[in-house]
A and B are shown apart, each in its own frame.
Chain A
Amino acid sequence: MKRYIPYLFMLVFGSTLAVVACRTVPEDPPEWTTNSPTALAAFDEGLNARSKYYHVQAREHFWRALEIDPDFVMPKVMLLRSSGKWSDEQKSFFQELEKIDFDTLNDREILLVRMVTKDYLEPDGAAQLVDTFLEEYPNDPYALEIRCASLTKTNMEAAIDCDEKLVAAHPNWVSSLNRLGYAAMALGNFEESEERFRTYRFIAPDQANPHDSLGELLILRGRWEEARKEFNRALEEHPGFCASYAHLQLLSIAEDDFVAAEEAVDQAADACEERELWSMQCDLRYHQMMKEGRYEDLTQQTNDSCFQYRSNLKMMVHRSSLLTGQWAVADVVEKDVEILSQQDKYRGKDSPKVLLIKLRGDRRIAEGDHEGLEMLAKVDQELIYHGSDLGIFKLLNQMDLGRSLQDMGFAEESERVYTRVSAINLPFYERLRVGSYPSPSAAME
């Protein structure tokens, strides 16, 4: 028996050591600094709603957290980070945060507070703050989120890297999945995009946004029935989710179902803000005219408010002018877009410039100039499938190119373009092949 005593001793000693070690491991510090558990719960609900893109509810939760604990700093930060114009109270928060004692906050909270003030005052300094913080906390989801969201606007490749890092560390961080889904869609990696959106939808099936995002992709891929289900599901989850009404309208227009499109606009009345609703109405009206071949009517819209403020509608007016041979109207549209591309708010952005190339390319094709083909090819290179709107626009440009190549005698090249489009969106290709949306080359006749 005596020879087993050392083993028993080692066993008991080891077990005791393990228990002591487990008990002495420090607990994680609290994520957010407040003494009130109810305030913390309200704040967490706000963050949850924010992650679902339910910004109105998020704001309500943050306000409630503040009511419970007026000294709770982070709701103030989140309210300042919310979109929209600041109220007087929010402005007072800003002044409060500028004088706040950082000793009471943890590192992440300090970053977020400083981000609010810096971001507002000097964006470059804010980015530097995040970088410094990430050097110490490379996997902090909030800091990564700020950085990735910021990069999405400026550098897509870096944004993808950033989001992939965030998802690797926090695979259930849905906003990253959403961004990665759109990024993959933009680059034409539709399978990957669908994988991201499905993952997003799996994590948050009770949110409208993942259904809506997936629906957008499905519109682009021509899987319209599935897309409609996703939009309907999004609206079931959140009837106030305006974007899904707009996408339902787009889908209906693509299907040439203007009754359904009109219903979508009607249903959006309670969900969308006035300007969003007006945009939908503009889209519906212009597409209806285009569908009905009322090109003359469309050429009359150059003074219409929809024409003035919705750049995507300018192309329909331009196309109509080409089809009806009203070159002066075409000139007006091109000039209008040219002015638009020189405006400060579009400086550094490609969309008006690309649109201008597109319009001029269409015009050259209508004039029988082969240079127009090159211009459309250039437009195709410049455009990405970012979202259903831009994606459909890119596909439309490809179809224009294909049909123009065909009409100008480049059957082989034309077929290659058709193959590409049909592989992405067969219904769209089929509808345009039968002429539901005339190509610029149709004006050559």
Chain B
Amino acid sequence: MTTLNASARWTARILLTLGLLAFALTGLSVVALFLPRPYDGVVLESDAPGQLRVRSVVPGSGAERAGIHAGYRIVGIDRTILKSPEEAAVFLNEHRIGDKLPYLVETPRGRREFMVELGPRRIGNWIYVCAYLLGFAFFVVGLFVLLSQPELRAGHVFFVLSTLFMLFLVCRLRPASYSRLDTIVLEAGTLALLFLPGTFLHFFFIFPRPAWREWKGLPRRLMSHPIYSKAIFTVLYLLPMAAYLWNLKRCELRGESVTFISGVPISSWWTLAGYSAAGFGILAMNSRSLKRKNEKSGARLVAAGIIFGLLPFLITAIGFPETLHTTTFLITGIAPLLMIPLTFAYAIFRFQLLNIRVMLRKSLMYTMTTALVTGLYAFAIALFNSVSRDSPLAESPYFPLVFALTIVLGFEPLRKRLQGPVDRFFFAEKARLQQAVVEMGRAFAAQVDLSQVVRDLVERLPKQLRLHYAALYLLRGEHLVRVAGPTSLPESFPYAPPLHRRLRRQGGLARIGDLDSVRTVNPQANHLLQALEAAEAAVLVDLSSPRRHLGLAVLSGKSDRLAVDNRELELLRNLFDQATIGLENTLLIEEKTEQAEFERELEIASGIQASLLPEVVNFAPGWNVAAACRPARVIGGDFFVELPTNHGHCALAYGDVSGKSVPGALLMMAAHEVLHSLSMVHREPADLLEFANRRLYQLRRRSFVALGYLASTECGTGLRYSLAGQPQLLRRKVNAFVEELPLPLSRLPLGAMAATQYDLLETPVHHGELVLGCSDGIVEAQSPQGDFFGETRLMEAIAQGPAEPQPAVDHILHTLDRFTGGQEPYDDLTLIALSRTMEVC
């Protein structure tokens, strides 16, 4: 697998910029050919700097009618001797089409004057059109490879090769007239030809893999060395330029003129031929050492492309002009050049470098549709003319315009309509893959079974995309835990928010090579990425919905050892969007189910809890008692219970266990049962509390129960009580004054310490007095503003309320509700109220 790195991407960006500039230049060059300028019909020899030597004249042009022929040299135009072609362009542009200008021309019989009529610019012929189309085809193929594989070195070189070919074909073989643009374009073409051989050879050195890896000894060491290999490639690139300059200098020293063939110095042709032969040799050597069958086939295909593409061109562009002195057959050499990009691209496709079919699919479709629409248009116009000849509609100048607009508007729908059948016929495999991914996405979105989603992700997806593996990590607390995937990956790792933020910024997924910035700022992420790289992971996918973070998917590189390209990334992005929805849905459904079950169980538990509380509270004769217990959740930790006493009466215990919800409820149940069972044996309150403490301490350490114990004195005139962690008892006197009852010395909650003794206090209770006990949930209740209810408010509520137990309890709870604003209480609430009705003794 090719490692992605930032420098490779920067190289790709620079190459892309340069390539687009070259493309703009060639585009400008072609556009310039069709600009409506006055033109004499002279095509200049492209390699006679500063001279206006006629390479050919456009048939039917003013120059041809005037008698100017190839080989002549234009000395002056319009009574002015010219120093450069640009001056000629200036003069021509000052005139109009149809003007006649005097030309001074050097002919084999001396300088002669010609009168040349200027016509519209019409330069080039179908040979050049073929060259343009071919050049752009090269560029498009190269561009597609670069965009698909921005980090692949062979892709870089192939793009450069394609761009140079485009410059050569479009600029170097371009017919030139006088403008500065023509000169610039031709120079660009010349420059391209100087770099083309080196790039050609470079490509063969590294395609389909670096050739020197199979070599032995010094050559391998040299080529594998980062500095020496660069030096060797630099020399290879500069050699054609040196040959060109040497040729110029040699001709200058000998006083000879440089020999040009097809507008190119012969030295450049021979350099290109030599480099091509060397490249061919390297490819042949390389292909012998290739192990994989498809690589061998690809190499053979490229070799065939060179032979059938380049050889005819070299023959017709060098051989024929030099031996037969004609460039008439140049077109027969240019056309087969198309073999080169096509075979190269197809070979690259075989190595999964490029999906050439995507491009063919679109271009073929557009070509077919264009042909169809054009045919329809022509047919309809012909039909209309034959039917409605001489009618007002036929004579209307707007009719063809409106008709053409209709056709244009209908173009895209028609193409879309045709695309489906064509895709099915020509691109079944691609369509199948796309369809499979679409179906997988739909299935994800509709999936309710988490295990099925996981299986699709880690089993089906790698097969479709030819990945080694896919793994799924789900967020469990603060960790991502592997739920599926190879064991070579970490079982779990801490959740790293910066990494996920970065992934989300990149659209949810990214190649590991694209996450370098995270490594520097987050060591945890760096550590994780290193571990994933070690396991040959290539792409990370953040699984997050707008509501929650779900986890992380890890994808390996492809089984063909090439990087996941941008199109595949896009495909994956869409797929994982669907998968995230599917995952979230299944997780939500699972959680919802669990929640419902839990709530149902809580309801049952709540019922059980409620059943433990006595519906009618029995205390002692002559006492009126009211009690209320309100859990904060479905189930709570507060309770009250009747306990038997030595006098045959009932005592009342009210408790508040530590913890809430299920743990609190369980402890409450335990405390309830402990107190109940021990009270059967130990009627003495101090003993009861001491043994209950020991038991609860044994049950669970650091869990305790705050308990209040209330019992009537033997004569019923007073109250015996003990407080183990519960708030102080309050007494409302007859005059509505509220006071706190004294606290016992030992008031540790039950279960807090192993050996604790509890003492009981007695206090007389008079008629009209009211005693209140409560759990801490009452005083700790909070208002919406965050204020505690507190003892002061409680005492005020008691003072202002009635003196009867039940109305008093209701009044206090009502006051509390108003204070809290009806919001869910933080803690369970328990309230006990007692008053005397008569004396027993």
Contact = CB atoms under 8 A, between A and B. Distances in A.
Nearest to A204: B79
Contacts, number: 36
Given A198-B104, A202-B76, A171 B111 contact: no
A199 B79 contact: no
A195 B82 contact: no
Contacts of B110: 191, 194-195, 198
A198 B111 contact: yes
B234 interface: no
Contacts of B404: none
Contacts of B75: 199, 202
A258 to B, nearest CB: 32
Interface string A166-189: 000001100000000000000000
B104 A199 contact: yes
Contacts of A194: 110-111
B702 to A, nearest CB: 56
A130 B106 CA distance: 35
Contacts of A18: none
Interface string B98-112: 000010101000111
A199 B106 CA distance: 10
Chain B interface residue number, banded:
10 to 19
Contact of B79 (A191, A195, A202): A202
A205 B113 CA distance: 11
Q: Which residue, of B75, B82, B111, B112, has the highest number of chain A Cβ atoms within 10 A?
A: B111
Nearest to B87: A171
Contacts of B111: 194-195, 198-199, 202
Contacts of B81: 171-172, 199, 202-203
A336 to B, nearest CB: 43
B79 A205 contact: yes
Contacts of B76: 199, 202-203
B80 interface: yes
Interface in B53-81: 75-76, 79-81
A172 B83 CA distance: 10
Contacts of B104: 198-199, 202
Most buried by B among A202, A204, A205: A202
B189 to A, nearest CB: 25
Contacts of B80: 172, 203
Nearest to B102: A202
A203 B104 CA distance: 9
Nearest to A203: B79
Residue of B79, B81, B106, B110 most packed against chain A (CB within 10 A): B81
Nearest to B106: A195
Contacts of B102: 202, 205
B113 A202 contact: yes
Nearest to A191: B110
Nearest to B13: A3
Contacts of A198: 104, 110-113
Nearest to A196: B111
Contacts of A172: 80-81
B9 to A, nearest CB: 12
A164 B509 CA distance: 72
Contacts of B82: 171
Contacts of A203: 76, 79-81
Contacts of A199: 75-76, 81, 104, 111
A326 to B, nearest CB: 47
Interface in B444-465: none
B224 to A, nearest CB: 35
Nearest to B79: A203
B78 to A, nearest CB: 10
B83 A171 contact: yes
Interface string B208-235: 0000000000000000000000000000
Interface string A198-225: 1100111100000000000000000000
Interface in B230-246: none
Interface in A76-109: none
A194 B106 CA distance: 12
A198 B114 CA distance: 12
Nearest to A195: B111
Contacts of A204: 79
Interface in A38-83: none
A202 B76 CA distance: 8
Nearest to B112: A198
Contacts of A202: 75-76, 79, 81, 102, 104, 111, 113
A191 B110 CA distance: 7
Interface in B87-132: 102, 104, 106, 110-113
Contacts of A195: 106, 110-111
Nearest to A172: B81
A204 B104 CA distance: 12
B50 to A, nearest CB: 11
Nearest to A198: B111
Contacts of A171: 81-83
A2 B648 CA distance: 87
A195 B111 CA distance: 6
B150 to A, nearest CB: 14
Contacts of B79: 202-205
B44 to A, nearest CB: 18
Interface string A242-284: 0000000000000000000000000000000000000000000
Nearest to A201: B113
Contacts of B83: 171
Contacts of A205: 79, 102
A202 B113 CA distance: 7
A199 B112 CA distance: 9
A404 B75 CA distance: 45
Contacts of B112: 198
A191 B106 CA distance: 12
B73 to A, nearest CB: 11
Nearest to A171: B81
A122 B110 CA distance: 44
A227 to B, nearest CB: 15
Contacts of B113: 198, 202
A171 to B, nearest CB: 4
B510 to A, nearest CB: 16
A282 B110 CA distance: 37
Interface centre among A171, A194, A204, A205 (most CB of B within 10 A): A171
A202 B110 CA distance: 13
A171 B75 CA distance: 10
A167 to B, nearest CB: 8
A203 B110 CA distance: 16
Contacts of B106: 195
Nearest to B105: A202
Interface string B333-366: 0000000000000000000000000000000000
A79 to B, nearest CB: 28
A171 B81 CA distance: 6
Nearest to B17: A7
A434 to B, nearest CB: 30
A222 to B, nearest CB: 16
A171 B84 CA distance: 11
Interface string A403-437: 00000000000000000000000000000000000
A202 B75 CA distance: 10
A22 to B, nearest CB: 16
A273 B80 CA distance: 34
Interface in A284-322: none
B373 to A, nearest CB: 35
B111 to A, nearest CB: 4
A361 B322 CA distance: 58
8 contacts: A198-B110, A198-B111, A199-B104, A202-B104, A203-B76, A203-B80, A204-B79, A205-B79
**Ordered nearest first, which 8 A-B pairs have the shortest CB separation?**
A171-B81, A202-B104, A198-B111, A195-B111, A172-B81, A202-B76, A203-B79, A172-B80
Given A171-B83, A198-B112, A203-B80, 7 more contacts: A194-B110, A198-B110, A202-B75, A202-B76, A202-B81, A202-B113, A203-B79
